[in-house]
Chains A and B, each alone.
Chain A
Amino acid sequence: MNTIDVREAVGRAHREEWARLVAALTRRFGDLDIAEEAAADAFAVAVRRWPDDGVPPNPGAWLTTTATRKAIDRIRRESKRDRKHRQARMTYDDRPGTPEPIGDERLRLIFTCCHPALAMESRVALTLRLVGGLTMAEIARAFLVQESTMGQRITRAKAKIKAARIPYRVPSAHDLPARVSGVLAVLYLVFNEGYLATGPGTDPVRHDLTAEAIRLTRLIHALVPGDGEAAGLLALMLMTEARRTARLSGSGALVPLGEQDRGTWDAELIAEGHQLVRRRLASGEPPGPYQILAAINAVHTSARDVRDTDWPQVVALYDQLAALDPSPVVALNRAIAVAELDGAEVGLALVDRLGDRLAGYHAYHATRADLLRRLERDDEAHQAYGRAIELAGNTAETAHLTRLRDRLPVAHNAPSATVIPEQA
């Protein structure tokens, strides 16, 4: 077997088996640290041995056996040093007959990593490490912190899980919807960070993060297929991911939805997203925010040309979303759709009402700038672009906004904040 095949086999086993392995080890040994280290040990052995011994017929079983042996070795070594270690086992409900809403090992792991008693940043880091199998260095790079900082964050979170006895189990049916929603929030955050990465030194789109978020959301959706919001979030991610390549110009500037080459959208991802949305509509259950956002994306991705967009439908969906989520960001997006339907002036009046609450948000200023430009109020548009550029953290967005501002026709005296976009 050649090296490339073995490397691929290890990679595939890592994608498919990592979470299951960590979950099974945690359940058996009652300790996240031991589970994580033993799983990593097993993959290190696979990388060494598979090129000579060949890829085992059942890589998952081979990894489980190897990791279990490694875990036992570790416990023997550590229990000699530290007898207390053995006492600190995690609690999980293993009584026979305990009704468990869903039976997958990996779910316990995800729910533990996304426990609401942990800080959001810890939940994201733990989920990417223990469920996603990303290395500490990869997670640190994704969130622009030092690897040691990320290591400490994960260590602290694991220490809290142990000391406070955050249980290793799927929440009761009664708590499940709220806890699933907590998991989805973590995955949405991972996706968004990948989709609109922040920071001057980062790639504008972090495909590794969006791909990981989609993979984990697929997993959640498969495990709780009846949960409408899990389906909605997956659909939303798929339809967003479908536009990934169309979203960046050759020079690395952001291309807004209306100007994208729709022929380059990924038709397969869009079809899958549409199917999920249709199935949710057919269920007749009232949709949550992710499902409504997915429906809005379905409307956009159904239009072959931006001029064919069903704006009344988009506005109606935003009305529905605003009723569930009265946040100013939703109101801003609704105003953008209203501007398409009823004209820039009407849209601008709605946007201006949000100034108090969104003054520090770049998209507020970018939206105002765009509407002011359409109304030919160029000086004001110029200022608004300037403010948006100052506040935007994504390199592609900064490049796009700078291009728009510099295309404004009139000379002006407003002070300009010069931003040189990084070339991709």
Chain B
Amino acid sequence: MQYLISVIHDTSDLATAEEDAAIDVFNDRLVADGHWVFAGGLAGPATATVLDNRGGKAMLTDGPFLESKEFLAGFWIIEAPDLDTALDLAAEGSKACNRRVEVRAFL
């Protein structure tokens, strides 16, 4: 079972050196315990481009698809047997990156 742990944030500040260090420790643990699938931080929402090619002619729009106070700042994809395990890991992740996180299961 895989879970997406989204990191929610409301300013464009990047992680501090301490936060980065804590994230590294957490990531090492995810790898060591077999939970690691993938993770990454994202550039700010202002740098996003929305593309719509449903009509066969790609339309580009500058900016995020949704203007909101809070946005996705990064994410982890983890392997976990159930929600309790995923929530335990998410709790550590939230502490490490010092931001709120959302946990969602993949189908």
A residues within 8 Å of B by Cβ? 91, 115, 117, 163-167, 171, 175
Contacts and interface: CB of A to CB of B under 8 A. Distances in A.
Interface of B: 1, 81-84, 87, 103-105, 107
B84 A171 contact: yes
Given A91-B82, A163-B107, A166-B83, 10 more contacts: A115-B83, A163-B105, A164-B105, A165-B1, A165-B82, A166-B82, A166-B84, A167-B83, A171-B84, A175-B84
Contacts of B87: 117
Contacts of A166: 82-84
Q: Is the interface of A mostly helix, strand, loop or mixed?
A: loop
A164 B84 contact: no
12 contacts: A91-B1, A91-B81, A115-B83, A163-B105, A164-B83, A164-B104, A164-B105, A165-B83, A166-B82, A166-B84, A171-B84, A175-B84
Nearest to B87: A117
Contacts of B83: 115, 117, 164-167
Contacts of B105: 163-165
Contacts of A117: 83, 87
A46 B40 CA distance: 57
Contacts of A115: 83
A163 B107 CA distance: 7
A164 B84 CA distance: 10
Closest 8 pairs between A and B when the two form their complex, measured CB to CB: A167-B82, A165-B82, A91-B82, A164-B105, A164-B83, A166-B83, A165-B83, A167-B84
A115 B83 CA distance: 10
A398 B86 CA distance: 47
Residue among B1, B82, B103 facing the most chain A CB atoms (10 A cut-off): B82
A164 B82 CA distance: 8
